[in-house]
Amino acid sequence: MRPPQLTEEFADAIPGVLLDAMGVRAPLTRFDTVIMGWDTYTLDPSNPNPYPHLRQIVASSREREVHEGIEVTSDPVARVRESKAEDGAGIYLCGGGGLAGTLIEEIDRLVLKRNPLAFGDGIPLFGHAPYRPVRFDPVGVRVFGSGVVVEEYVRAPEEAA
C-alpha cells in the first residue's frame, strides 16, 4: 500500500503553475478561495495569478495593482466573514503569520504542514498577534510519501463561563 500523496489531498492549495507542471487538476473539494497577504502574493513576480483555479483575495492596507479577477481587501476579517457566509468549499489561508494572526478569530480549522527541512528562524505561526489562548482539538495526523507531516485541528467549542 503506497502512502497518501500530498498532491492528491491538497491539490486545491497548490499554485497553478505547479499543478500544470505535474499534470494535476485541482478538484476544488477542500478549498475554493485563497486569501494571502501582499508579500505572499508578490513572492513570485513572474506569476501574477498564482491560484487561477481559486477565487483569490489579497489582503493589503493600501490600494494595489493585481492581476484581473483578483480581489484586494483592506479588511480581511470582514472579507473572510463574508466568504464563510457563502456556499462553497473552504478558504485557504496562504502565507505568513501576520495575516493568520489577524484572522485567528475566523480560523475554524488548522492544517499545519511540516516539511522535513530546517530553514532557521522561520515565521511565527500567528505573527505578532497579542497573547490570547485559542484552543484547537487534534483531528488527524498524516505522513505523506515525501516525508511531509500534515496535522489537522479544529477549533474547540467555547467553554461555558
Question: pLDDT tens for residues 134-145?
Answer: 999 999 999 988
DSSP bridge pairs for 141 = 151
- Cα 134 to its chain centre, rounded Å, is 18
The number of C-alpha atoms within 13 Å of 6 and in the hemisphere containing its C-beta is: 20
Torsion from C-alpha of 94, 105, 150, 29, nearest 10 degrees: -70
pLDDT at 161 over 50: no
Topology (CATH) of 6-155: Dihydrofolate Reductase, subunit A (3.40.430)
pLDDT of residue 6: 74
pLDDT in tens, 39-65: 999 999 999 999 999 999 999 999 999
The answer to whether 12 and 54 are in contact (CB under 8 A) is yes
What's the whole-model pTM score? 0.89
